Amino acid sequence: MNWQWSPTKKQFEKRVAIETKWELAKMRLEDIRETGYVPAASQQRQFAELPHMSFSEYIGQENAVERLRAAITAAKRTGKPLPHCALIGPAGMGKTSLASCAADSLDRPAFMTVGSALTNIQDVASLVDAVNGGIAFVDEAHDLARADLPIVSGLLPLLQDFMLHTETGSRPVVPFTMIFATTTFGLLDPAIRSRMGIPYELSGYTAEELSQIAQFHARKQGIISLPESVAQEVARRCRGNPRMCGNLVGEINNFTLAAGGKDIILNDALKAFSVLGIDENGFNKTDWRLLNLLKERPCAISRCAGYLGMDKRTFEEIIFPFLFNSGLVITSSKGLELTTAGTELVDG
Ligand SMILES: Nc1ncnc2c1ncn2[C@@H]1O[C@H](COP(=O)(O)OP(=O)(O)OP(=O)(O)O)[C@@H](O)[C@H]1O
Ligand SMILES: [Mg+2]
């Protein structure tokens, strides 16, 4: 006998609802399995675990490291939380890594988020509750400046007295450490800024340190051996930036693998640099376009950025610092201009 299901409207709707839920759950599982990507859900937390890194792996930045280690030792000896602090420096220079070292050394829960994810004091409350006396790390903290006033006024008692004031009432939280990382400390609200102690300003890396960072990246990427000559070339061409250093190591490894090689050789590196258009001093085609423009006449920063087809912030964070640190350009009342060394390089 052929049995046919003839549901009522209610039964039918219930079944559709169950099937939809099941399909969604399956899609979610497949997404997670295949891509590691977890689809956004309103109840999802706006923060992730801060990765751990050992101080012994962190290269350079002696002053910041010495200060931070002293502060951590003091906190452990007194039983007080590590004081809130701000890490300042250009993108990719090691702020998150330094916070990861602090988390590793303190051995307390540590979570990270970005300033723009903290839109109200409830967001901050769930982060602070999760860290439970550990580290709440806020990357791109200057984006908090875009948030509305209530988050700032809510943050002040939280940072200062570990008191949380929300619409539903006030309560103490377990004393914790807030670490802000920012490229532009000045954009933070002055009242918050003044509660973050003396900021840790990350300085530049020496060629030797960058070469060690290239080796560190190679180990992280599972590369068995990176010849010292390649590490030094990477150090010379990474614009003084640890993240760029890692990106170059990855690019070079691609060329080695594409050529059917197993171990990286200097030729793979030179091929990668040539394809990427990076010369022996680390300058790329964009740098050269700018240097040639400035050879004609000094030029305002916003005009330089426009000429290169990028926004002012990208120009200021990526193009300008390397040429400035290389002693090729300076700022003056006329805008940006070539130094004598810059003129010699362009003419030479
Ligand atoms: N001092 C260092 N020693 C070893 N590796 C480093 C160091 N600084 C940065 N790195 C490596 O360089 C990469 C970028 O560092 P990190 O993410 O800490 O930079 P950041 O300053 O937080 O950048 P952003 O402003 O974009 O958040 C990471 O892969 C990190 O492991
Ligand atoms: Mg970071």
Find residue 336's DSSP bridge partners. Answer: 299, 331
Query: Nearest to residue 168, comparing CAs of 120, 135, 106?
Result: 120
Residue 122 has pLDDT above 50, yes or no: yes
Mean predicted confidence (pLDDT) in 130-156: 87
pLDDT at 342 over 50: yes
Region of poorest pLDDT, from 26-30, 238-242, 270-274: 26-30
> Looking at residue 131, what is its pLDDT?
95
Using H for helix, E for strand and C for coil, what is the string for the chain? CCCCCCCCHHHHHHHHHHHHHHHHHHHHHHHHHHHCCCCCCCCCCCCEECCCCCCCCCCCCHHHHHHHHHHHHHHHHHCCCCCCEEEECCCCCCHHHHHHHHHHHHCCCEEEEEHHHCCCHHHHHHHHHHHCCCEEEEECHHHHHHCCHHHHHHHHHHHHHCEEEECCEEEECCCCEEEEEECCHHHCCHHHHCCCCCCEECCCCCHHHHHHHHHHHHHHCCCCCCCHHHHHHHHHHCCCCHHHHHHHHHHHHHHHHHCCCCCCCHHHHHHHHHHHCCCCCCCCHHHHHHHHHHHHCCECHHHHHHHHCCCHHHHHHHHHHHHHHCCCEEEECCEEEECHHHHHHHHC
pLDDT value at 284 more than 60: yes
| CB atoms closer than 10 angstroms to residue 175 | 12
Pocket test for ligand 1, best of 97, 140, 142, 316 (most atoms within 8 A of CB): 97
Residue 26 in this model has a pLDDT that exceeds 50: no
pLDDT at 289 exceeding the cut of 70? yes
Q: Are 242 and 209 in contact (CB under 8 A)?
A: no
Model confidence at 156, in pLDDT bands (50, 70, 90)? very high
pLDDT at 138 exceeding the cut of 80: yes
Dist. CA 299–CA 308, nearest whole Å: 12
Query: Tell me, what's the pLDDT at 96?
Result: 97
Q: How far is the CA of 97 from the centre of ligand 2 (A)?
A: 7
317 — pLDDT class (breaks 50, 70, 90): confident
Determine if ligand 1 sits within 6 Å of the CB of residue 211: no
Residue 152 banded pLDDT, cuts 50, 70, 90: confident
Domains of the chain by start residue, with CATH = 48-201 (3.40.50.300), 207-276 (1.10.8.60), 285-347 (1.10.10.10)
What pLDDT was estimated at residue 166? 85
129 has a pLDDT exceeding 70: yes
Q: Of all atoms in ligand 1, which is nearest to the CA of residue 139?
A: 27
Give the Å distance between the CA of 304 and the centre of ligand 2.
27
Mean pLDDT of 285-302: 96
Per this entry, what is the length of the chain? 348
Q: Residue 138: CB within 6 Å of ligand 1? A: no
Confirm if 251 and 264 have CB atoms less than 8 A apart: no
For residue 34, pLDDT beyond 70: no
**285-296 helix and 340-347 helix, angle to the nearest 10 degrees:** 110
pLDDT band of 2, cuts 50, 70, 90:
very low
Question: CB–CB of 329/336 below 8 Å?
Answer: yes
Kindly report, residue by residue over 50-99, the tens digit of the pLDDT. 999 999 999 999 999 999 999 999 999 999 999 999 999 999 999 999 99
- The CA distances from residue 95 to 183, 196, 247, 262, in Å, are 9, 15, 17, 33
- 66, 93, 316, best to mutate for ligand 1 pocket (most atoms within 8 Å of CB): 93
Measured between alpha carbons, how far is residue 117 from residues 126, 137, 162, 226 in Å? 12, 12, 21, 39
* Ligand 1 geometric centre to CA of 97 (Å): 5
**Amino acid 17: pLDDT:** 54
* pLDDT for res 31: 46
pTM of the complete model beyond 0.75: yes
Q: Grade residue 46 by pLDDT with cuts at 50, 70 and 90.
A: confident
Whether residue 343 is predicted with pLDDT greater than 50 in this model: the reply is yes
Give catalytic residues, as residue numbers.
95-96, 139, 183, 243
91 lines ligand 1 (CB under 6 A): yes
CB within 8 A of 119, min separation 6: which ones? 147, 151
pLDDT tens-digit map of 173-224: 999 999 999 998 888 889 999 999 999 999 999 999 999 999 999 999 999 9
pLDDT at residue 27 greater than cutoff 80: no
Amino acid 6: pLDDT: 60
For residue 5, the model assigns a pLDDT of 56
Bridge partners of 181, per DSSP, are 87
Assign 32 a pLDDT band (cuts: 50, 70, 90).
very low
For residue 38, the model assigns a pLDDT of: 43
Is the model's pLDDT at 302 over the cut of 70?
A: yes
Distance, in Å, from the CA atom of 115 to the CA atom of 145, rounded to the nearest integer, reads 8
**Average pLDDT over the chain, rounded to whole?**
88
